[in-house]
Amino acid sequence: MAKIMAVNAGSSSLKFQLLEMPAEEVIAQGLIERIGMDDAIITIKYQNDGSVVATEDITLSDDGKKAKFKVVAPVKDHQVAINVMLKHLSELGIIENLDEIVGVGHRVVSGGEWFNSSVVVDEEVLHKIERLAAYAPLHNPANAMGIRAFQKILPHAVSVAVFDTSFHQTMPKVNYLYSLPYQYYTRYGARKYGAHGTSHRYVAHRAAEMLDRDINDLKLITLHLGAGASATAVQNGKSYDTSMGFTPMAGLTMATRVGDVDASLINYIQEHEHLSNEEMMDVLNKKSGLLGISTISSDMRDLEAVRDTNEHANLAIDMFVNRVVRYVGQYIAEMNGVDAIIFTAGIGENGYEVRKEIIEKLSYFGVTIDDAKNTGMRDEAIVSTDDSKIKVLVVPTNEELMIARDVQTLMGEK
């Protein structure tokens, strides 16, 4: 048995799970938000064996089997965040010493064409992750920062990078190339890389298990619908096409990201608004999507709450649904059919109204949703009707588990 930590570092956050492997038991999970500020929020959830008592900082679940530790404190940077997180894990009795953590797996958004699978991190790997910052400017720099911080604090642990893009390296060239001069691909790697690959990989395999089918015999469409959103066509267990592009900006309408847009329009807006390239990219990444259309919020829950009275909120939701339907229809055509559509991530797992709207717009293909199953599900479930020609599943994603599995595999090879 070994303790492995799965890490997802953002520019101002650090999400983690500590797992006992190979049992795949979650020992603890947590999140540090607002890194770089004096009022960072540190939250750790863990199992209560009966020894934990409620305090000002610790609350217990109704049955007393789960504990939640939460404090607000200054956290200067990621290295401080990791030190704080490990200190609390020790003080809460979750770990006795740091040597117990033998492996750390890091989510990295872009691996470009350099990485088609997870790898043990060395200085060359880290350098490549940092060089790929242009491919995922909101993510790769933070991912690299988190890796370096953990390596400094836990030098004994095997460090593994798990790339969102690696699952999509199986796409055929006809699907990943843009209709640009070919030399831009050979010189600069100008192509579609996709993202959310770890999530798409997990839910596709889990869906095959739920359907009791061999994944190599299935055509699936996985919909990772959250603040970041992407659709992937999975054929024979491999990514065949995906909606995100050179960076995670392309594809579906997202919380603040624009999704697909005519490149000429970007140049037109820049000229009329007198925006620099950096300012324009900020608009496309942080001020567009649900936020840009609704003008009030990037959170689907906020928009649903005022949908009946706010036309902009209603329009934003309609556009979100519309873009998902477009890609599902495209992928059904590309694969010449589909066996199942899988919803995951925040909106995909919890937004039963959005799920229903999407499936109803696909009724032409013979897919129907069971209202009672759709609104009543609390975990993973098949929510289509028994006679639906295409199965519809909701599968909570578990990227951390996939990361831990990859760390365990690579530790065995080391």
| pLDDT, tens digit, 9 for 90 and up, residues 224-280 | 999 889 999 999 999 999 999 998 899 999 999 999 999 999 999 999 999 999 999
Marked catalytic residue, from 99, 164, 212, 214: 164
Distance of CA 58 to the CA centre of its chain: 28
- Alpha-carbon distance 154 to 90, whole Å? 14
Residue 78 predicted with pLDDT over 90: no
Residue 1 predicted with pLDDT over 80: no
The model's pTM is: 0.88
Residue identified by tokens 């043990």 is 120
Known binding-site positions for ATP: 15, 224-228, 299-301, 346-350
Of the pLDDT bands very low, low, confident and very high (cuts 50, 70, 90), residue 289 is: very high
164 in catalytic set: yes
| Token output for 319 | 């556009």
With beta carbons less than 8 A apart as the criterion, state whether 104 and 158 touch: yes
Q: Bigger pLDDT: 77 or 71?
A: 71
Name residue 414's amino acid.
K
By DSSP bridging, strand 229-235 and strand 238-242 are antiparallel
Residue 12 predicted with pLDDT over 80: no
Q: Bigger pLDDT: 202 or 139?
A: 202
Three-state secondary structure readout of 314-375: HHHHHHHHHHHHHHHHHHHHHHCCCCEEEEEHHHHHHCHHHHHHHHHCCHHHCCCECHHHHH
Of the pLDDT bands very low, low, confident and very high (cuts 50, 70, 90), residue 33 is: confident
The CA–CA distances, whole Å, from 306 to 298, 302, 310 equal 13, 7, 6
| Residue closest to 69 by CA, chosen among 87, 82, 400 | 87
Widest pairwise Cα distance in the chain: 65
Residue 321 predicted with pLDDT over 90: yes
pLDDT attached to residue 35: 83
- Alpha-carbon distance 316 to 256, whole Å? 11
Known binding-site positions: 8, 15, 107, 224-228, 299-301, 346-350, 399
pLDDT attached to residue 47: 86
What mean pLDDT do residues 320-336 have?
97
Mean pLDDT of the chain: 92
With beta carbons less than 8 A apart as the criterion, state whether 27 and 69 touch: no
The percent of residues in the chain predicted with pLDDT above 90, rounded, is: 67
Residue 138 predicted with pLDDT over 80: no
Q: Is the dihedral of CA 73, 78, 80, 85 positive or negative?
A: positive
According to DSSP, the residues that pair with 382 across neighbouring strands are 393
Known binding-site positions for substrate: 107
- Alpha-carbon distance 378 to 62, whole Å? 18
Residue identified by tokens 């890609």 is 327
With beta carbons less than 8 A apart as the criterion, state whether 291 and 298 touch: yes
- Alpha-carbon distance 48 to 33, whole Å? 24
- Alpha-carbon distance 68 to 80, whole Å? 21
Q: Bigger pLDDT: 252 or 57?
A: 252
Residue 144 predicted with pLDDT over 80: yes
Angle between helices 197-211 and 399-413 (to 10 degrees): 100
pLDDT attached to residue 335: 97
| Residue closest to 266 by CA, chosen among 281, 287, 247 | 281
Name residue 146's amino acid.
G
What mean pLDDT do residues 114-126 have?
92
| Residue closest to 389 by CA, chosen among 332, 350, 343 | 332
DSSP state of 395: -
**Element (DSSP H or E) covering residue 176:** helix 173-176
Angle between helices 311-335 and 352-360 (to 10 degrees): 50
Kindly report the backbone phi and psi dihedral angles of residue 26, in degrees, each rounded to the nearest multiple of 5, phi listed first: -80, 115
Cβ neighbours of residue 164 under 8 Å, at least 6 residues apart?
107, 108, 109, 110, 111, 194, 195, 196, 197, 198
| Token output for 409 | 């595999």
For 124, how many CA atoms within 13 A lie in the half-sphere containing its CB?
Answer: 4
For 67, how many CA atoms within 13 A lie in the half-sphere containing its CB?
Answer: 20
| Token output for 388 | 């639906």
Cβ neighbours of residue 253 under 8 Å, at least 6 residues apart?
229, 259, 289, 290, 293, 316, 319, 320, 323
Q: Is the dihedral of CA 289, 295, 299, 300 positive or negative?
A: negative
pLDDT attached to residue 413: 62
pLDDT attached to residue 376: 87
What mean pLDDT do residues 37-63 have?
86
pLDDT attached to residue 251: 97
Kindly report the backbone phi and psi dihedral angles of residue 17, in degrees, each rounded to the nearest multiple of 5, phi listed first: -135, 140
Known binding-site positions for Mg(2+): 8, 399
What digits encode the pLDDT tens for the residues 148-193?
A: 888 888 899 999 999 989 999 999 999 999 999 999 999 999 999 9
Residue 414 predicted with pLDDT over 70: no
